Every structure is written in structure tokens, then in C-alpha cells.
Amino acid sequence: TKTILLNSRPSAKPTKENFKFSEEEVPELKDGELLLKTKFVSVDPYLRGRMNDVKSYIPPFEIGKPITSVIIAEVTGSKNNDFKKGDFVSGNLAWKETQIANAKGLNKVDHKAADLTAYLGVLGMTGLTAYFGLTEIGKPKKGETLVVSGAAGAVGSIVGQIGKILGCKVIGIAGTDEKIEILKSKFGFDEGINYKTTKDINAAIKEAAPNGVDVYFDNVGGEITDAVLMNINKFGRIPTCGAIASYNDEEIPTGPRPQPILIKNSVLMQGFIVSNYADKFPEGIKQLATWLKESKITYSETVVEGFENIPQAFMDLFEGKNEGKMVVKI
């Protein structure tokens, strides 16, 4: 079966040379195991961190071994009583067209309740990250101003919509005019700032948020965050979710030192990993599914077709080529 291995570790931006396509034998199915056919592959910015040989909250990929990410697969063979042929599962699986897996860590997904890809996005890690980062750390109150960076991406677009449900004024920052238009027309954001064409992002935030920023959901870090910090209000909260602007940096980035701003305004800035909230995932999924059913939230996705295009789809995240969740259909 076709497999994608880590060939080398990237310096700066990942390139196609960092990936290697190979053919591997599919072993015999043993008791307790499942034979899985890959249907949809999630490509995510955090995989960039796993390509480095550094200690993190999740171990690095090994050179010569398959890359893994969350995958939706169809059960095509089963020696496990809990799963049968025709079931769909989601789990952290290898970038292989077909694979044998232990059922541990796999969850059945109901293709009748929602589109399969929703389990990689709004009803998966993406939605949970948005929900818990915003409600547990951001704690937005009615009438407050919420700024979201990476706003037209998978997490950001959900964060903004939850902000609207909770009664906030929501301002999104994203990289194209088309994305800004979608933020307002499809996701109900009040204002949008294109960080690539806006010369003075600080001034643009001041204009969009005349009462200052109460909650800043940070997906990107870097200079965008520097600018939002200049506008943070007293007792502001900053869920630090992602820092994609720095993931390809080879040296530790430097910039303004935020401490005086945080102190002066009693600001809470807290990093988090979605799995911190694992014991509350059922509650989060239930809420997101309810909002989805009631059409209070919606989602978009960029679906790339073909196993051979997985690495390119991943690399395209760093160029902002996706709108909503980036998914590869096999």
C-alpha cells in the first residue's frame, strides 16, 4: 500500500523533499485488529512541530517512519467484536492508503449524523480547540470585543461564530480580501482586517475596536499579536492557541516584550493544548453538534483530492491556501 514517510527534517518551510512515498506490505489481520481504508486525512499546522527533533507535548516523527495525523477510515476487515465492516472510524493513523490498526484510540463516527469530514473539523479537534480555548480561557462576556487571528481558518472561523453566539463584537484577522468577505457574509463577523494589505495593523484594530480588545484568541503569534496587544483592555484574556507565524522560524523569534502591557492591564495570557480538556470533550462535542444542528454555526473546508497530494495540502497551510478546514480526500 502507498505510504508517506518522513524523509528529512525541514529547515524553515517544509518542502516536498521532506516527504518520501513508498510501497509497504499490509500485514495479516490479527485478533483484535482492524483493516482500514483511508478516506479523509486531516493536515494541520501542529504537524510542522512534529517534524522537528525537539521535545514537545507530543513526540517528534521519526525519519523513515510514516507520518501520522487524524484520519477518517472505513473498516474493510475486522477481527474485533466492537467494529464491523462498513463502520467509519476516526483516530491518529498513518499516512497510508490501507493499514492494520489496533482498535485502541479509534472512535466510531456516525456518517448519518454529519458529513464524515465534520469529524476532522467542527465536531473534532478543531471545534473542541475553538470551544474550550474560548470558553475556558477567553471567557467572553456579552458586549465585549473579541479579536481572532487566523480567523478564516479551521479553528478561527469557529471561534468567531461562538463569540457571536455569546454576544461579542467579533473582529477577524486573515490574509486575503476574499477571506475577509467570507468572515462577514458566512460567519457573521462584525469586522475583518486583511493583515497582508493593511500597513498599520495596530491602527486598523483601534479603528475596528474603538472600545479596545477584551479577548484575543491567538492562532498566529508574531507581529499580528504584537499589534493586538497594543489594544488589549484591562483584565483582557488571551487564549494562546497557535503561533503559525513562527512555526518555520529557525531561531527563537524576538519582538516587543509584552510584560509591561500584561502587568499594566492585568491581562491573562494562557497557552493551552486542546487535550487539556479531554475529560470535557463529550460536553464540547454535544454543544457544537447542537449549534450545528440549529444552524447557529456553520463551517467551511478546503478539500484536496488524492493521496499523493497530502504533503502539498499540508505545505499549503503555511501559504494560507485553505479557507476553513484543510482536508485531503482519498
Pick 147 or 220: Cβ nearer ligand NDP:
220
- 163's grid cell: 463569540
Pick 39 or 50: Cβ nearer ligand NDP:
50
The CB-of-12 to ligand NDP minimum distance in angstroms stands at: 12
What DSSP assignment string belongs to 312-326? Answer: HHHHHGGGT--SBEE
Pick 3 or 133: Cβ nearer ligand NDP:
133
Angle at 317 between CA 72 and CA 214, to 5 degrees: 100
The CB-of-329 to ligand NDP minimum distance in angstroms stands at: 16
Rg, the chain, Cα only: 20
The CB-of-247 to ligand NDP minimum distance in angstroms stands at: 7
30 within 8 A of 9, measured Cβ to Cβ: no
Pick 129 or 161: Cβ nearer ligand NDP:
129
d(CA 53, CA 51): 7
Residue ranges that bind ligand NDP, judged by CB under 6 A: 44-46, 125-126, 129, 150, 152-156, 174-176, 179, 219-220, 222, 224, 241-245, 272-274, 317-318, 320, 322, 326
Looking up cell 516523527 gives: 61
267, amino acid identity: V
Pick 10 or 45: Cβ nearer ligand NDP:
45
Distance from CA of residue 259 to its chain's centroid? 27
Pick 72 or 125: Cβ nearer ligand NDP:
125
d(CA 189, CA 265): 26
The CB-of-318 to ligand NDP minimum distance in angstroms stands at: 5
CA dist 59 to 46, 50, 62, 174, 193, Å?
12, 7, 9, 30, 36
The CB-of-95 to ligand NDP minimum distance in angstroms stands at: 17
The CB-of-285 to ligand NDP minimum distance in angstroms stands at: 15
154, amino acid identity: A
Pick 83 or 247: Cβ nearer ligand NDP:
247
The CB-of-259 to ligand NDP minimum distance in angstroms stands at: 22
The CB-of-8 to ligand NDP minimum distance in angstroms stands at: 22
Q: Give all strands of the β-sheet with 169-174 in edge-to-edge order.
A: 191-194, 169-174, 145-149, 213-217, 232-240, 268-271
Pick 242 or 311: Cβ nearer ligand NDP:
242
Dihedral of alpha carbons 180, 181, 182, 183, sign? positive
d(CA 319, CA 329): 20
Pick 106 or 154: Cβ nearer ligand NDP:
154
The CB-of-156 to ligand NDP minimum distance in angstroms stands at: 5
- 156's grid cell: 478561527
Looking up cell 456516525 gives: 110
256, amino acid identity: P
Which DSSP state fits 123? T
